[in-house]
Structure 1
Amino acid sequence: MNVEQQRLQQQGWKKWGSYVSDRQWGTVREDYSAHGDAWNFTTHDMARSKAWRWGEEGIGGICDEKQLLCFALAFWNKRDPILKERFFGVTNQQGNHGEDVKELYYYLDATPTHSYMKMLYKYPQQEFPYQLLVEENGRRNKQQEEYELLDTGIFNEDKYFDIFIEYAKADTDDILIKITVHNRSTESAALHVLPTAWFRNTWIWGRHSYKPVLFTGTDNCVHLKHEKLTVKHLYHQKGGTQLFCENETNNQRLYQTPSVTSYPKDGINDFLLHAKPSVDTDGHGTKVAIDYELVIPAKGSETIQLRLTEVEMADAFADFDTLFTQRVAEADEFYRDVQYNVINDDERLIQRQALAGMLWNKQFYSYKVQQWLDGDPAMPPPPPGRLNGRNANWKQLNNEDIISVPDKWEFPWYASWDLAFHCVTLGMIDPDFAKQQLTMLTEEWYMNPSGEFPAYEWSLGDVNPPVHAGAVYRVYKQDAAQKGKKDYAFLETLFHKLLINFTWWVNRKDSGGSNIFEGGFLGLDNIGAFDRSMVLPGGAVMEQADATSWMAVYALNMLHISLELATNNKVYTSMAIKFFEHFMHIAGAMANMGEGDSGLWDEEDEFFYDQIRSADGKVVKLKIKSLVGLIPFFAVEVISKETLDSNPLFAQRMAWFLRHRPDLAKLVSRWYEEGKDEKHLLSLLRGHRMKRLLSRMLDETEFLSEHGVRSLSKRYNATPFSLQVDDVTLQVKYTPGESDTSIYGGNSNWRGPVWMPMNFLMIESLRKFHFFYTDDFRIEYPTASGKYLSLREVGNELANRLLKIFLKDDKGRRAVFGNNEKLQTDPHFADMVLFYEYFHGDSGKGLGASHQTGWSGLIANLIRMKNKPQHMGTPTS
């Protein structure tokens, strides 16, 4: 067991981490407007002057687990109109494809306990083009690409700083900080570097009166006094000037009312840039920056060292280099063990950066809905309409945790189905944290009393695909593999909470009791011809292929968990029977809903479609060949003879059900067709339907791209899908890149690009089908190629296509970078990989949120699958 693995078993090592958000402005939590206009109620321009209520933001920031004290970096190149204290980006309304961060930064390394972390921020030496980015993105329409920081040309002559931010823990409350600044220009350049520490403002709202304080000690130490913190000192190398102010709102600037202090939050900004007397010369406050004014020679570098610690030290930097070297070596050792069988250097680089991004994208998240709706005692009351507005039915939600978020700038809040995928990746390196995250979502102060999981803060009541049971079982298996023992308590606890959520789905999303479900947009945003969450007129309902398939997947996952628990406690055998029957009824309804009704399967097109069922029973199929129709492929599990032999009551009850419902046994499950070694297949797809669905999925003129499976058939490029509603024609066109529609703000696109989590599930399903059918079953890959592979081989080939997004090709180029020559060829860019929200359906270029190391972090799992296939060949992997 290496040193980092030992730390994972000790208390306190995760107390401090990269838990500071990249963006607090423009969030729902900070929105107290009358009509929920979060993007305009708090803005980037306001952010430097406003003390936040629910959390903090910064560049490369760390904080304790309750975010009482924060530390982050600020910079000034002597040309910008403001200090660079936070990342800049366009809002949802300003961006032609929705909100987007317009900065260059990379998460390069991290260990699970945050004992070592490293990131890179690229800061231009010329004036940052704030206005140009807003104006040019505003000029562009949805058919044009986003206008990015690199597009401004500000990096063309290498007049920028590479700023590496590193943290190394000497102990649980002893944190070494190193900032290394490289001047990439051929000329010397001036830079202010401002390491900044501040207390989150918990005292102004009228709920807690205690106010902590920072105060000067010596010329290289700031003392910290907080009743709940053991960290007492911030040591910094000599040469920096201590600048103090208060973490209080500048009311005069923002609201033209008196401020509570002469030294508000933006005091350091105003002192440096405008020579205002806005810092406290007595040397105390709740915010402090150490100002290092540097002139860095051409192609040169400077390093600054600091230390946050609980111990008073005569020389805080005597062992600094030794400790840093040791923590870096321990991080390398940890990843050598994680990547022991990854031979390719480029794959190791990609996997390590993907995992680093997962760890950096942890965030302290506080949102107490009842308090948010009511307002705070010392603040003006919110508009009365809030009590009946956004999230009003989620008063029980009381969140204050460290949470894995998709992207700390674009999505600085958790999303329930994203989080499930995050845990599958985090489980590779820290299964305890993955288990805690999955458990957290099921707590009473997260779940609605109805049993619904919270979706995300913009609309907690939206419906996400129910993927949590699958994540729970995967993480359970990862945990057992790493520790050599099974955590039945975790699995049993989550099973009971998932049972409540499953019941919510059955009661709320199956309006007619037909086992056909209506989930809404289900996270697929703009994949349909219209908003699938809308209420249809005349009592009509949309019966969804994906919602119904997700519920079949859910039933199978719960069946699998029940059978696993039954090996330890036979009481769960009856639950296994329950979920077996649930699956059979869902599968039967989906395949054939009655005489003359083919269900959601279309015999002519041989594809699954959504359909609208009117109050009089008339059905209209929405014949869009999209990912919606491929999701039935995910509903597959294999039950072995050993499982049945060890659960005779389950086998007996299952046999009774099949005897009494031979229509389901024959039509859906292929139960009487035993596989090799007497395995039995549970699937929505009979052999013929599976072949036909795969034929489309693996067709390069439809779904299969060079970089994975697209979310919409490419055939809609030439002839879009059209739907006539009254006198309005609705169209869906293959759009391989950014969205060209305003549905859901236009900031995501399911009409063509490759999405990593859906492809990951396809590969898993192919392996499960292969486990049943073995190598004897072969499919044409690609369709019409004349080449036949086993289903396992098809999964491997699909994984290789996804890896091609990131890996260098034979010309040394990465598809994820698109045609940007700077990214492709510059040695200071070419190995800095970003993990985007989704990927261009033709070129593989990264699109959407640029630091979406949430579900796109699954690339780390695919690298492991590629290099360790023998452990991924069974349905329990």
Structure 2
Amino acid sequence: MIHKNAEEERLATEDNYKNWKRWGPYLAERQWGTVREDYSENGYAWSFVNHDKARSNAYRWGEEGIGGFCDSREILCLAPAFWNGKDPILKERLFGLTNDEGNHGEDVKELYFHQVSTPTHSYAKYLYKYPQKKFPYAELLKKNGERSREEAEFELLDTKAFTKNTYFDCFIEYAKEDVGDILMKVTVINRGAKTAKIHVLPHLWFRNFWKHNDRFERPQMKSISDASVQSRSTRNGRYYFYHEDGEQLFCENETNNKRIYNVPNEVDYVKDGINDHVVNGLDTVNPAKKGSKLAVWHKLSLKAGEEKVIRVRLSKKKLANPWGKFDTIFENRIKECEEFYGDILKKDLPADQQEIARKAFSGLLWTKQFYYYDVYKWLFGGPGEAKPHRNDSRNAKWQHLTNRHIISMPDKWEYPWYAAWDLAFHMASFVEIDPYFAKEQLLLVLKEGYMHPNGQIPAYEWNFSDVNPPVHSWAVWNVYEKDKKRKGKGDTKFLEKAYQKLLVNFTWWVNQKDTSGTNLFDGGFLGLDNIGVFDRNHMPQGIKRMQQADATSWMAMFTLNMFRMTIELAKANPIYEDSVAKFFKHFLNIAWAMHHIGQKEISLWDDEDNFYYDVVEMHNGSTDRLKVRSLVGIIPLFAVEIIHKDLFEELKHFKVRAAEIVRTRPDLASLVSNIEEFNVDGNYLFSIMRGFRLEKLLYRLLDEKEFLSDYGIRSLSKYHEEHPYVFKHNGHHQIQYESGESRSNMFGGNSNWRGPIWMPLNYMIIQSLRKYYSFYGKEYVYEFPTGSGIKLNLNEIANELSKRLIKLFQANGDGKFQYHSEDVNKVFTKDEHFKNEHFFYEFFDGDSGKGLGAAHQTGWTALVANLIMELEQHS
């Protein structure tokens, strides 16, 4: 029997959202500035509810907080707020710049760290660093507004807010006694050299669900003693909120219409009442001590280095002594958390790598979010609501979409909405710590309230119709295999449910993105922002269509994923054998199309450059390659699968069909590697690339003058630094290598694939190399780096690439982290209260390794934890 620790036992509980996952860190870190909350006529989401309005505006679709917890339907929310006595507002939410205000787009300007969490959030810890000086809101806005795209962002550490350690460390911790008993502890430490004051205000409030639904009554919280409050709602019954000391302050979670719109308020004591009372001394809290929003006001004075603890408890039970076992519960949950990660991260891993992986996994767990969005109600209003005034009917083709679930976010501040292909990569990491959640999430976006009736998977709320790369099948198979390996038995029920919906999505791709019926696909920008010489969603006039090397390769990979799933399902159910043959033939057709040269068409593979390129077809019928050396030409590497001959022996009907296909169309079979031969281990190789193409592609991929960086694989070849690619057709279109932030605003914001290193595609490159190694073995060696004379096999190359990526997160001999800038390193190296914290940046400079984009975006960058664990397995 496999040993299960306490956390694994909790994870195995059926219907966990009614059990141990009922409460978790499901609050957004930013609800303002989102499409969901945008009720402007012209769709200006960033300005309709901005940071200034956020404290006064009762949201329609969700809530936000700093290190907050809520239930899985976000009925009741719990989070702390802080005030240093100098700021003009309470620190209830994280501050940052909008897409128009930041010189590289949306940009959070706070210091916070998701320190640890178990998968059920039985224990969770978050660190927020709060300046003792006045928070530099205006300076951050002004300095970033003055900077161009060519300049670095002006960060909080660039101000004087943290000079001489004049800040508080605010540790926010949660422990569950059981599924309906949540303990919160806020530990505040003065890191400065002088005594400093701070106000700590644990908040409890109801999301405003009653205003938009006549079925629900307004819930209420009321004081039942000087140290306890009772909340009541028809949606979640009674809860008891216990606190030590502090003053109870009540108001309503209702919009301050007078402040925002200069019209009378509908109720007294509106949402910003607690803020106005604490900061400005106004009579804006309810003296009757009741409302739908509560804070307990603690005023602390801390000497240098002193720490003080605020304890609160939210329970379904009426407790005679809420504090008797409080500390013991925390101790037990912390011990169980350590045991859980100790079992996952083997002790022979270096301590620093264990810490990186633990922080990466914990960041994923902290960036779960309750996501609620009903497009039909958003467009037309719900029952009894007036129809919104909209000139911009964003997502009008997605009126079926009704999302109301806990979902893994790319980042809860900079990207507090799900993105389909981000989520797929998240699950490749989640399966290592919570396979239940990984499978649930992959099935979730395939449900009827998500997937379009035509089969498209929604991209993200700014435009659900955008096309993300079809990596969902890759994630499903990845999760299935890892879960099967761990448990010794595959979850075929999960696989079959996902497979049936993926069939619909596959058909959508074939029908919508192969408009010519030639097995060459397009898909627009496909998530690879700025990687092309022009915007592939808006091509220059005169181009009829584009045959995309990446879209076609993604589809080849999708086809192989479906092929492999079908084989697995056919083992138990022979009815799937016909589908095995279908995907086998489809894969051959795509491979043939990529390399076929007809009278008018040219191959996506260029024999002179030994690289894959996009091909454009003009209205006059001519075709031309766009010779940009980018990840677009590397993605064909991903279309690879290794299948043992024993699997085919079980599928007699397929063997006959496959032999017939190969016999009647040898021209198809000749393009794909060794599909009629197995190696000494009995494995067949299915790949777009025959051996010589793989060798040629590796020559460029592993060249330090092209794709290979000291810190991973660049997204654009460094060759284009000195040799920009120019395409002249109805204008001058040019692309040049840029190692860091893009100077192009082609997609706005902080979009950039013009050189930096992205963890998810690096991870897929490494996975693909390991698959090729399992077929070719040790005797096939390649130069690494190109021109060095050093020969390594493909597994060794995958290990070396992994080490370069992991190195981003490791301190060098000087104690500095590669992903930090020099200025940031001064703080993170010298200050002992910074040096053990990690950021998980969105992407990394292709030359220096500096972290860029969203700083806290654990998301797909959490794959560094996979690299650490898999490096240990393959070394």
Q: Same fold (TM over 0.5)?
A: yes
How far the C-alpha of 1:377 sits from its partner, in A, is 5.3
Distance of 2:832 and 2:178 partners within structure 1: 35
**2:40–2:390: 8 Å Cα contact kept in structure 1?**
no
**Equivalent of 2:489, from 485, 505, 529?**
485
Distance of 1:666 and 1:553 partners within structure 2: 18
Name the SS for the 1:424 alignment partner.
helix
Q: Does 2:201 correspond to 1:197?
A: no
Distance of 2:270 and 2:802 partners within structure 1: 53
Aligned to 1:299: 305
Counting matched residue pairs gives: 866
Q: Does 2:528 correspond to 1:521?
A: no
Aligned to 1:744: 747
Task: Summarize the alignment of residues 99-118 of structure 1 with structure 2, pairs less than 5 Å apart.
Answer: 99-118=106-125
Aligned to 1:861: 866
Q: Which of 112-121 and 806-815 deviates more?
A: 806-815
Distance of 1:328 and 1:607 partners within structure 2: 52
**2:59–2:208: 8 Å Cα contact kept in structure 1?**
yes
Distance of 2:663 and 2:850 partners within structure 1: 52
How far the C-alpha of 1:383 sits from its partner, in A, is 1.9
Distance of 1:190 and 1:689 partners within structure 2: 66
Task: Give the AA of the match of 1:549.
Answer: S
Aligned to 1:570: 574
Distance of 1:231 and 1:2 partners within structure 2: 32
Name the SS for the 2:857 alignment partner.
coil
Distance of 1:791 and 1:554 partners within structure 2: 23
Identical pairs, percent: 50
Name the SS for the 2:800 alignment partner.
helix
**1:495–1:561: 8 Å Cα contact kept in structure 2?**
yes
Task: Give the AA of the match of 1:482.
Answer: R
Aligned to 1:41: 48
Task: Give the AA of the match of 1:869.
Answer: H
Aligned to 1:711: 715
How far the C-alpha of 1:814 sits from its partner, in A, is 1.4
Aligned to 2:160: 153
Say if 1:384 and 1:807 are closer, same or farther in 2 by CA, change over 3 A: closer
Task: Give the AA of the match of 2:830.
Answer: T
**2:420–2:459: 8 Å Cα contact kept in structure 1?**
yes
How far the C-alpha of 1:207 sits from its partner, in A, is 3.9
How far the C-alpha of 1:653 sits from its partner, in A, is 1.0
**Equivalent of 1:817, from 817, 820, 824?**
820
**Equivalent of 2:835, from 830, 840, 844?**
830
Aligned to 1:180: 187
Distance of 2:348 and 2:102 partners within structure 1: 40
**Equivalent of 1:842, from 838, 847, 858?**
847
Q: What does the per-residue CA deviation read over 1:502-530, in whole Å, with 9 as the maximum and x for residues that have no partner?
A: 00000000010000001110000111111
Distance of 1:301 and 1:462 partners within structure 2: 49
**1:173–1:231: 8 Å Cα contact kept in structure 2?**
no
How far the C-alpha of 1:670 sits from its partner, in A, is 3.2
Aligned to 2:350: 344
Q: What does the per-residue CA deviation read over 1:667-707, in whole Å, with 9 as the maximum and x for residues that have no partner?
A: 23333454233422111111111111111010001100011
Q: Does 2:328 correspond to 1:325?
A: no
Aligned to 2:293: 287
Residue segments in structure 1 that go unaligned for 5+ positions in a row: 871-877
Say if 1:206 and 1:639 are closer, same or farther in 2 by CA, change over 3 A: closer
Say if 1:218 and 1:709 are closer, same or farther in 2 by CA, change over 3 A: same
Distance of 2:714 and 2:480 partners within structure 1: 30
Task: Give the AA of the match of 2:714.
Answer: R
Q: Does 2:21 correspond to 1:14?
A: yes
How far the C-alpha of 1:450 sits from its partner, in A, is 0.5
Name the SS for the 2:164 alignment partner.
coil
Q: Does 2:482 correspond to 1:475?
A: no
How far the C-alpha of 1:808 sits from its partner, in A, is 1.6
Q: Does 2:724 correspond to 1:720?
A: yes
Q: Which of 782-791 and 735-744 deviates more?
A: 735-744
Aligned to 1:875: none
**Equivalent of 1:697, from 690, 701, 708?**
701
Name the SS for the 2:855 alignment partner.
coil
Q: Which of 290-299 and 607-616 deviates more?
A: 607-616
Task: Give the AA of the match of 2:429.
Answer: T
Distance of 2:108 and 2:786 partners within structure 1: 39
Aligned to 2:771: 768
Name the SS for the 1:321 alignment partner.
helix
Aligned to 2:685: 681
How far the C-alpha of 1:536 sits from its partner, in A, is 5.2
Distance of 2:792 and 2:390 partners within structure 1: 63
Distance of 2:674 and 2:167 partners within structure 1: 63
Aligned to 1:498: 502
Task: Summarize the alignment of residues 187-226 of structure 1 with structure 2, pairs less than 5 Å apart.
Answer: 187-226=194-233
How far the C-alpha of 1:572 sits from its partner, in A, is 1.2
Distance of 1:231 and 1:816 partners within structure 2: 47
**What is the Cα-based RMSD across aligned positions, in Å?**
1.3
Q: Which of 663-672 and 274-283 deviates more?
A: 663-672
Q: Does 2:250 correspond to 1:244?
A: yes
Say if 1:279 and 1:75 are closer, same or farther in 2 by CA, change over 3 A: same
TM-score scaled by length of structure 2: 0.97
How far the C-alpha of 1:746 sits from its partner, in A, is 3.5
Name the SS for the 1:747 alignment partner.
coil
How far the C-alpha of 1:593 sits from its partner, in A, is 4.1
How far the C-alpha of 1:186 sits from its partner, in A, is 0.4
Distance of 1:633 and 1:653 partners within structure 2: 27
Aligned to 1:233: 240
How far the C-alpha of 1:291 sits from its partner, in A, is 0.5
Q: Which of 481-490 and 601-610 deviates more?
A: 481-490
Name the SS for the 1:181 alignment partner.
strand
Name the SS for the 1:201 alignment partner.
coil
Task: Give the AA of the match of 1:254.
Answer: I
How far the C-alpha of 1:740 sits from its partner, in A, is 1.2
Say if 1:579 and 1:210 are closer, same or farther in 2 by CA, change over 3 A: same
Name the SS for the 2:748 alignment partner.
helix
Q: What does the per-residue CA deviation read over 1:529-552, in whole Å, with 9 as the maximum and x for residues that have no partner?
A: 111111553560011000000000
Distance of 1:344 and 1:231 partners within structure 2: 47
Name the SS for the 1:572 alignment partner.
helix
Aligned to 1:450: 454
Task: Summarize the alignment of residues 380-391 of structure 1 with structure 2, pairs less than 5 Å apart.
Answer: 380-386=386-392, 389-391=393-395
How far the C-alpha of 1:664 sits from its partner, in A, is 1.4
Name the SS for the 1:277 alignment partner.
coil
Q: What does the per-residue CA deviation read over 1:820-860, in whole Å, with 9 as the maximum and x for residues that have no partner?
A: 21123321111100111111111111110111111101111
Q: Which of 175-184 and 666-675 deviates more?
A: 666-675
Task: Summarize the alignment of residues 406-421 of structure 1 with structure 2, pairs less than 5 Å apart.
Answer: 406-421=410-425
Distance of 1:489 and 1:198 partners within structure 2: 40
Task: Summarize the alignment of residues 70-85 of structure 1 with structure 2, pairs less than 5 Å apart.
Answer: 70-85=77-92
Distance of 2:576 and 2:778 partners within structure 1: 34
How far the C-alpha of 1:262 sits from its partner, in A, is 2.2
Aligned to 1:395: 399
Distance of 1:410 and 1:596 partners within structure 2: 45
Distance of 1:579 and 1:62 partners within structure 2: 45
Aligned to 1:873: none
Task: Give the AA of the match of 1:767.
Answer: R
**Equivalent of 1:531, from 535, 554, 557?**
535
Distance of 1:682 and 1:564 partners within structure 2: 16
Distance of 2:204 and 2:348 partners within structure 1: 40
How far the C-alpha of 1:379 sits from its partner, in A, is 5.2
TM-score scaled by length of structure 1: 0.97
**Equivalent of 1:852, from 845, 850, 857?**
857
**2:56–2:272: 8 Å Cα contact kept in structure 1?**
yes
How far the C-alpha of 1:570 sits from its partner, in A, is 1.4
Distance of 2:89 and 2:384 partners within structure 1: 30
Task: Give the AA of the match of 1:429.
Answer: I
**1:542–1:613: 8 Å Cα contact kept in structure 2?**
yes
Task: Give the AA of the match of 2:43.
Answer: G
**1:818–1:844: 8 Å Cα contact kept in structure 2?**
no
**2:544–2:616: 8 Å Cα contact kept in structure 1?**
yes
How far the C-alpha of 1:718 sits from its partner, in A, is 2.3
